[in-house]
Homo-oligomer: A and B are copies of this chain.
Amino acid sequence: MSIIEIPADSLFGRDNLPYGIFTVSAEADSARRVGVRVADKVLDLAVLLGDDVFSAATLNPFMAQGRAAWDSARSRIQDAIAADVADAAIFELADVALHLPVDVADYVDFYASENHATNLGRLFRPDSAALMPNWKHLPVGYHGRAGTVIVSGVDIVRPCGQRKAPQDDAPTYGPSRRLDIEAEMGFIVGTPSKQGTSIAPDEFADHVFGAVIVNDWSARDIQAWEYVPLGPFLGKSFATSISPWVVPLAALEAARVATPTQDPTPLPYLQGTEDWGLDIALEVEWNGDVVSRPPYASMYWSPAQMLAHTTVNGASSRTGDLFASGTISGPEKAERGAFIELTWGGAEPVEVAGEQRTFLEDGDTIAISATAPGVNGQRIGFGEVRAAILPAVN
């Protein structure tokens, strides 16, 4: 039995307790199972709590149990780590491998940052109004590819596809030349809803289990050519990376804030009485240099509104559904969460480790991290989502 030591400034203290899926690196055929991160330790929850739902290879069975079970597990974990913990339950973070935490059901990506939508509108459609007429009436979103959601640490093969610049006569095939990131937060549904019903904004916490950091990799040249009229497809579908630790919604109580003022007032189905804006601070590192600090609190639409909108037509929501916010861009240049914005379409390079850079080059590494206010002035961490760019396969 051992005491779990938690430094006072740990981002992974007793008020965070994110869930992940791990194996033990040194053990051949180590089974995937659910762990909780406490300081620099990973605790095996099936051992700690004696509950087989944590012997699963994904969080889905636990998430499907619903909010009462989540609250109960959280309080049992807090009790357990306040006392001595069986050594068989304790692993060093450095000794485990982390895996995709959820079996992703459907993946939806939103477009909820007014700054981002305005910037992209100017860049993609310079001759039109930056924001489309619908943008302030509904959280614009679309379905992405669930099968290519991967966990932090899996590297990204540069995608190939059709690109056509406006001045070209015809499209050509080849590796994307404008490979980009999108720094986002993602929300994972635990409690499902039935086809033909909808989830009101105030039911958000009954359905959503937790949050992760998302890097929605984007091939801008492929996207720009393909996306009319049915939206992004291959420009996005090659890979979407998420952080390995799912921070439970219960850990984000102190991070809850009002969204920016919504004018015009949204339709009633998008109105709730609870604040679900979130004061999450992100940081984008490019080859080790911090190039942007996107503020989630600036997002126009809340995740509760996103889920309400997704289901207002009666679409069911399943355990494992992932919906992401869209690029988080604050009003300042150094708060933009995509390089197409940060470098204004490549026209204004940024300095990265002493070089002038626009889009991603082979060998580059991106790490996006995030923290949020916790209780008692502490902060809680989401960890990071990190990947390197590998050359295209031709």
Chain B residues whose CB sits within 8 angstroms of the CB of A196 once the complex forms: 157, 393
Q: What count of chain A residues pass the 8 Å CB interface test?
A: 67
A267 touches B173 (CB 8 A): yes
Residues A314 and B157 in contact in the complex (CB < 8 Å), given A196-B393, A229-B227, A230-B140: yes
Q: Do residues A237 and B313 form an inter-chain contact, with CB atoms below 8 A?
A: yes
Tell me which residues across on chain B come within 8 A of A124, comparing CB atoms: 229
Binds B, one of A142-150, A252-260, A378-386: A142-150
Verify B144–A143 contact, CB threshold 8 A: yes
Complex alpha-carbon distance, A159 and B107, angstroms: 21
Give the Cβ gap from A392 to chain B, nearest Cβ, in Å.
8
A269: chain B residues within 8 A (beta carbon): 173
Residue in B161, B172, B234, B321 whose CB lies within 8 Å of A147: B321
A195 close to B150 (CB less than 8 A): yes
Task: Judge whether A352 is part of the interface by a CB distance below 8 angstroms.
Answer: no
Write out the residue numbers on chain B whose beta carbons fall within 8 Å of the beta carbon of A140: 226, 229-230, 233
A240 to chain B, nearest CB (A): 10
In the complex, which residues of chain B have a beta carbon less than 8 angstroms from the beta carbon of A219?
313
> Do A234 and B309 have beta carbons less than 8 Å apart?
yes
**Interface status of A286 (Cβ within 8 A of chain B):** no
Is A162 on the interface with B (CB-CB < 8 A)?
A: yes
Beta-carbon nearest neighbor of A155 in chain B: B196
Q: Hey, which bits of chain A sit against chain B, CB under 8 A?
A: 105-108, 111, 121, 124-125, 132, 134, 137-138, 140-148, 150, 157, 159-162, 164, 170-173, 195-198, 219, 222, 225-235, 237-239, 264, 267-269, 309-310, 312-318, 321, 393
Question: What are the 3 closest A-B residue pairs judged by CB atoms, nearest first?
Answer: A231-B231, A159-B313, A143-B143
What are 17 A-B contacts with C-beta separation under 8 Å? A105-B146, A137-B170, A138-B226, A141-B233, A142-B142, A143-B233, A147-B321, A148-B195, A148-B315, A148-B316, A157-B196, A173-B269, A195-B239, A222-B313, A230-B232, A237-B310, A238-B315
